[in-house]
Amino acid sequence: MAQRQFKLPDVGEGLTEGEILQWLVAVGDTVTVNQPLCEVETAKAAVELPSPYAGTVVELLHEAGTTVDVGTPIITIDDGAVAPAPAPDGDADPGSDGGEPAAGLIGGAAPGGRTAVLVGYGPRTTEARRRPRRSAAPAPAAAPVASAPVPEPVGADYGSGGQQRPPLLATAPDMTVKPVRHGGLEVGRQAEAHAAAEEAATSLGAAPGRGRARPLAKPPVRKLARDLGVDLTVVTGTGEGGVITREDVTAAAAAPADRPGLTAVPAVTSTAGEQRIPIRGVRKHTAAAMVASAFTAPHVTEFLTVDVTRMMKLRSRLAARPEFAGVKVSPLLFVAKALLLAVRRHPMVNSSWDEAAQEIVVHGQVNLGIAAATPRGLVVPNVEDAGALSLTELAGALAELAETARAGRTAPGDMTGGTITITNVGVFGVDTGTPILNPGESAILAFGAVREMPWVHKGRVRPRQVTQLALSFDHRVIDGELGSRFLADVGALLSDPGTALAF
């Protein structure tokens, strides 16, 4: 029998480690190709890793909660195949000897020295061919002695060599890959064993083809359960379709200690009211990035108080228009549009400092980052080429970005490549702040709460809608004059949206 080890791949852009949040399979479980094996939290997001092999789980090499370096084996799977003899000319199929998967396949090498992670992730570097059918009949006596492997279902082991075609899949937005079934292709004892396993799994409430049932819950609810030490597998969901809600988790956590559903929480320790939380995942990445930014780029922050009464009236008018039906028209939308228009006039603000090349890189398009608070910590997904979007398209993009971030489904690729950022502290009732630059960017705009305040308007003190803006910028790239002009233009567009016609 051939045992294969699956190594932790690079699920982001050059990440070096990831924390195994939970195992979705156990020793002895039968797994299929692309069945999620575990949930891993990296410095940017939480993703499920699909299995490149079909077979039986032999060993889980790391406990849940362990931080593992990229390239380290995390699970051993017995694929049930007989290992073929080495080719006499030494030109063996890549990955067919139980070693490294073939280039371009899950766990195999990818361009740039990286590791392929998901089906469809990155360009393929090898050509996959269907493995010729082999008969299970005994070989003739005159033929060389060789072990004939039991026939395998198509796609059952596309990570084991370049002579087998991987199934065609589409990756979901949350970077999880759904298992693909190939009915009618299993023969002999394998078909019988597969059917028996399906029947046993169904009787236990598990999904067909999976080792055990996975509780239905959204990523924020899973995070809450881990923090409170609640085992979701014994919690009954009250949401639609049996989905476990936050209320279900908090109720389970408040239950007596001897009630099933409560487990120890190794990640958080407390003594006499003191709580210690290990720095991992998104929090660890954010901390390192903020320290590097704060002590690398010389920050300058400027503030501007703006009368946005006209903007708020325009917001009410636009929200009633049919083209904005079903789309949230928020003050942030107008701030984003004002920033994008101001960048057109001052393109140097949309740039970065290249220390290695000793150059200032002025970006050709605006990838607008929006700082978002999530249960896993602060993330900054970005809207690619936001300057090319219409106001309705920008509104839809911001709404989708916020919804995805709140659900914890932001893909690592959506958090790279940003060129300038907005942080909306006003949603928390905060007036302003001194934001720290997102690494690799030269400017970040903080948008405060919109409040009704006394304001001198047309020579009289009247109640007006007022907000505060704070612009932090890298003084190596942006001098005081440029930063001031840029911030003044953003303020003018918010104070009088009609000014946009002059941009």
For the annotated catalytic residues, the residue numbers are 475
Q: Which of 326, 484, 496, 340 is nearest to 396 (CA)?
A: 326
DSSP state of 64: T
Half-sphere exposure of 325 (CA within 13 A, CB side): 3
Give the integer Cα–Cα distance in Å for 310 and 176. 45
Cα dihedral sign for 265, 266, 267, 272?
positive
Angle 205-209-210 from CA coordinates, rounded to 5°: 60
Q: Which amino acid is at 35?
A: Q
Kind and range of the H or E element at 424?
strand 420-424
Burial class (CB in 10 A: 0-12, 13-18, 19+), 74: buried
Q: How far is Cα 147 from Cα 223, in angstroms, rounded to an integer?
A: 48
Q: How far is CA 168 from the centre of its chain?
A: 22
How many CB atoms lie under 10 A from the CB of residue 192? 11
Euclidean distance between CA atoms 363 and 351, whole angstroms: 5
d(CA 319, CA 321): 6
Residue 107 token pair: 């766990």
CA-wise closest residue to 160 among 272, 4, 310: 4
Q: Which residues contact 24 (CB under 8 A, 6 or more apart)?
A: 36, 37, 38, 39, 48, 211, 214
CA distances from 277 to 63, 252, 280, 281, 493 (A): 18, 22, 9, 12, 44
Distance CA 234, CA 237 (A): 9
Query: Which residue in the block uniquely carries the two structure tokens 């393109």?
Result: 347
Whether 95 contacts 101, CB under 8 Å: yes
Question: What span, in angstroms and rounded, lies between the C-alpha atoms of 216 and 239?
Answer: 9
Q: Is 346 helix (H, G, I), strand (E, B) or coil?
A: coil
DSSP secondary structure, 212-233, as one string: S----B-HHHHHHHHHHTB-GG
**Residue 224, number of CB atoms within 10 A of its CB:** 20
Phi, psi of 397 (to 5 degrees): -65, -40
